[in-house]
C-alpha cells in the first residue's frame, strides 16, 4: 500500500520578484497525482531557499516554524492512516483539511468565516471584508502565531496613523476579537491577545440632517433630468419614512404595507438589526409611491450617493446630500415636532433607545448654537 510524499513548493505560479511576494504551498504527491495546499505564507523571491525554506527575513524563524507545523499536522494524519492500514486518497485529505483548518492562516480563516456566516446581511459582510482587507494591508497579523498583544497594539497604532476615526478603529478591534474568539472555539488558537486590553469607543460625529427649509428646497427643486428626479424622490420618500437604504432596496408595497382605517402603515423587519419597525406613511411619502405606481425606482447605494450630489446642486444647498441624511432628517423632524423618543425608536427599528438618543444630542447641539447666537446679539 503506497502513501503520499510531501514537499514545500515556492511560487508555483511564477509571480514572485524582489518586490512582489509568492505563495509557499505544500505539494502532496500520490501515484502520479498532485495536490497543492496553500500555507498562507508569502515571501519575496530572494527570501526562499529550497533547502532552508525562508531566509533573509526578520520573521524567518517564526514563518519556518509555521510551515513545519502545517507539514507536521498532515504527516501525523498520514502516519495514522498507515498505522490503521487505511488507504490514502485525496478526498480523505480534503475532508481532513476541512475539519482541522490547520493549513489556514488567520487571515484566510477570517475571510472564509465572513463568507460562511448566514447571520449577517450582505452589507454587514461588506464591512467585515473591509476590516479583513485592513489586516492584509497591515501585514503583521497574518498567521495565528501573529496574534500577540504587541501586534494588536501595533495594529491600533497603524489604524491611527492611517487616519481612521476612533469609532471606526474600535469597530475594527471588535470584529478582530469576534474572529479570534471563533478561532479559539475551533481549537485553532489558545489565548486571546485582547484579554486585559481596552480600546476607546470614541465619539461619533454629530449626525447630519436637513432642516425643514432645506428639505423643502429639495422637494421644490426644478429638476429636468428624469434620472436625477427619481433620485430626489427616493430621498424624499426616505426623509418622510426614516427607512434605511437596505430596507428601501427590498421594500415591496403589497407585502410590507397594511391599510388601517384611512392610513397606510409599513410593518417590516430591519435587515441590519432584525428589529420590527412600524411607520405610518405620511402624505409626501404616499405621493411618491403613487407617482411610481407603488414600485420605487431603486438604484445601487453607490449610484444613489453620487447622484444625490447633483440633487443638492439643483436644490441650491451648500453641502452634499447622502443617503444616511434622509434617515437622520426623519428622526430629527419627528423629535422636533414632539414625537416621543420611544416611538421614534420603534419607527427606526433601533435595538435600543440609546441609539435614538444620538439624534436628541444633535438637537441639543443645535440649541446650544442658537443660544450662543442669542448671547452675541444681546451682549
- Give the C-alpha separation, 104 to 112, whole Å: 10
Cell 436637513 belongs to 210
Tell me how many degrees the CA angle 141-143-149 measures, rounded to the nearest 5. 50
**Per-residue pLDDT, 366:** 54
Instruction: Round to whole Å and give the CA distance between 95 and 229.
Output: 55
CB 92 within 8 A of CB 29: no
Long-range contacts of 373-379 (CB under 8 A, 24+ apart): none
d(CA 330, CA 350): 14
For residue 367, what pLDDT is reported?
47
Cell numbers standing for residue 105: 492562516
Beta bridge partners of 35: 28
Cβ–Cβ contacts within 10 Å for residue 244, how many?
21
Cα 193 → chain centroid: 22
Q: Are 25 and 38 in contact (CB under 8 A)?
A: yes
Q: What per-residue confidence (pLDDT) applies to 257? A: 92
Compute the distance between CA of residue 371 and CA of residue 191 in angstroms, rounded to an integer: 53
Please list, in sequence order, all residues whose beta carbon lies within 8 angstroms of the beta carbon of residue 206, skipping any fewer than 6 positions away: 361, 362, 365
User: What tens digit of pLDDT does each residue of 287-301 get?
Assistant: 999 999 999 999 998
Q: Work out the widest C-alpha separation in the chain, in whole angstroms.
A: 98
Q: What is the 3-state secondary structure (H, E, C) of the chain?
A: CCCCEEEEEECCCCCCCCCCCEEEEEEEEECCEEEEEEEEEEECHHHEECCCEECCCCCHHHHHHHHHHHHHHHHHHHHHHHHHCCCCCHHHHHHHHHHHCCCCCHHHHHHHHHHHCCCCCHHHHHHHHHHHHHHHHHCCCCCHHHCCHHHHHHHHHHHHHCCCCHHHHHHHHHHHHHHHHHHHHCCCCCCCCCCCCCCCCCCCCCCCCCCHHHHHHHHHCCCCCHHHHHHHHHHHHHHCCCCCHHHHHCCCHHHHEEEECCEEEEEEECCCCCCEEEEECCHHHHHHHHHCCCCCCCCCHHHHHHHHHHHHHHHCCCCCCCHHHHHHHHHHHHHHCCCCHHHHHHHHCCCCHHHHHHHHHHHHHHHHHHHHHHHHHHC
**Which pairs count as long-range contacts for 92-96, CB under 8 Å and 24+ apart, including other chains?**
93/28, 93/35
From the first residue on, what is the mean pLDDT of each consecutive set of 10 residues in the chain (379 residues)?
91 93 93 90 93 91 88 90 90 79 77 88 86 93 87 93 90 95 85 91 71 93 95 96 88 91 84 75 94 95 92 93 88 79 66 58 52 57
Q: pLDDT, tens digit, for every residue of 12-51?
A: 999 999 999 999 999 999 999 999 998 888 899 999 999 9
Amino acid at each position: 500500500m503506497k502513501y503520499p510524499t510531501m514537499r514545500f513548493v515556492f511560487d508555483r505560479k511564477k509571480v514572485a520578484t524582489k518586490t512582489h511576494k509568492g505563495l509557499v504551498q505544500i505539494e502532496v504527491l500520490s501515484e502520479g497525482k498532485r495536490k497543492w495546499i496553500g500555507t498562507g505564507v508569502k515571501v519575496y523571491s530572494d527570501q526562499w531557499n529550497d533547502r532552508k525554506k525562508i531566509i533573509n527575513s526578520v520573521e524567518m524563524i517564526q514563518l519556518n516554524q509555521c510551515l513545519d507545523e502545517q507539514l507536521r499536522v498532515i504527516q501525523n494524519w498520514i502516519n495514522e492512516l498507515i498505522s490503521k492500514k487505511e488507504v490514502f486518497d485525496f478526498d480523505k485529505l480534503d475532508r481532513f483539511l476541512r475539519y482541522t483548518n490547520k493549513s489556514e492562516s488567520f487571515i484566510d480563516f477570517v475571510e472564509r468565516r465572513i463568507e460562511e456566516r448566514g447571520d449577517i446581511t450582505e452589507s454587514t459582510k461588506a464591512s467585515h471584508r473591509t476590516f479583513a482587507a485592513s489586516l492584509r494591508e497591515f501585514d503583521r497579523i497574518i498567521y495565528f502565531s501573529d496574534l500577540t498583544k504587541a501586534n494588536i497594539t501595533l495594529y491600533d497604532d497603524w489604524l491611527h496613523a492611517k487616519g481612521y476615526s476612533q469609532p471606526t478603529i474600535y469597530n475594527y478591534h471588535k470584529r478582530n476579537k469576534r474572529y479570534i474568539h471563533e478561532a479559539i472555539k475551533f481549537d485553532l488558537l489558545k489565548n486571546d491577545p485582547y484579554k486585559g486590553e481596552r480600546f476607546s469607543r470614541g465619539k461619533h460625529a454629530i449626525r447630519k440632517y436637513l432642516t425643514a427649509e432645506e428639505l423643502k428646497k429639495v422637494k421644490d427643486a426644478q429638476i429636468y433630468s428624469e434620472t436625477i428626479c427619481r433620485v430626489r424622490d427616493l430621498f424624499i420618500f426616505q426623509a418622510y419614512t426614516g427607512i434605511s437604504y437596505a430596507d428601501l432596496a427590498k421594500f415591496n408595497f403589497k407585502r410590507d404595507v397594511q391599510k388601517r382605517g384611512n392610513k397606510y402603515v409599513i410593518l417590516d423587519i430591519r435587515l441590519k438589526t432584525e428589529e420590527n419597525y412600524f411607520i405610518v406613511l405620511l402624505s409626501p411619502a404616499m405621493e411618491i409611491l403613487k407617482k411610481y405606481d407603488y414600485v420605487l425606482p431603486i438604484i445601487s447605494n453607490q449610484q444613489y450617493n453620487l447622484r444625490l450630489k447633483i440633487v443638492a446642486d439643483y436644490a441650491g444647498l451648500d453641502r452634499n446630500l447622502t443617503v444616511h441624511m434622509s434617515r437622520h432628517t426623519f428622526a430629527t423632524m419627528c423629535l422636533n415636532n414632539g414625537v416621543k423618543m420611544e416611538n421614534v425608536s420603534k419607527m427606526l427599528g433601533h435595538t435600543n433607545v440609546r441609539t435614538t438618543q444620538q439624534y436628541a444630542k444633535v438637537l441639543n447641539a443645535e440649541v446650544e448654537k442658537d443660544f450662543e447666537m442669542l448671547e452675541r446679539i444681546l451682549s
